[in-house]
């Protein structure tokens, strides 16, 4: 089942995990900042995957620290080829959540 985020990004499934309710507002924020549609899609997809991983790890929203993104990226690198912007995208996400 497809999930439309912010009328721009389509994910193959609805976001799950502690960040699920923040994915749409994060996409809107990226759009307002002038990011391209491609960049928004990449960052939203990464945020959704990160959220799912956090749920699997049993991490609540208020318990997310700056240690989690590097751990997630190591986990992710075992499954898919890392992209240069992945660490920056997760920093954007954490900055968004803090604001």
Alpha helices by DSSP H, the chain = 23-32, 37-57, 68-77, 86-98
Residue 72: per-residue pLDDT: 97
Task: Tell me the HSE value of 67 on the side-chain side, using a 13 A CA sphere.
Answer: 2
Go through the chain and tell me how many residues it has: 99
- Say whether pTM exceeds 0.75: yes
Q: At what angle do helices 86-98 and 37-57 cross, to 10 degrees?
A: 80
Q: What is the pLDDT of residues 51-93, one digit of tens each?
A: 999 999 999 999 999 999 999 999 999 988 888 899 999 999 9
């Amino acid at each position: 089942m497809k999930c439309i985020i912010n009328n721009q990004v389509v994910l193959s499934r609805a976001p799950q995990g502690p960040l699920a309710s923040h994915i749409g507002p994060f996409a809107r924020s990226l759009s307002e900042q002038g990011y391209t549609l491609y960049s928004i899609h990449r960052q939203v997809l990464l945020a959704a995957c990160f959220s799912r991983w956090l749920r699997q790890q049993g991490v609540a929203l208020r318990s997310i620290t700056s240690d989690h993104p590097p751990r997630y990226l190591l986990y992710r690198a075992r499954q898919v080829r890392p992209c240069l912007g992945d660490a920056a995208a997760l920093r954007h996400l954490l900055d968004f959540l803090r604001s």
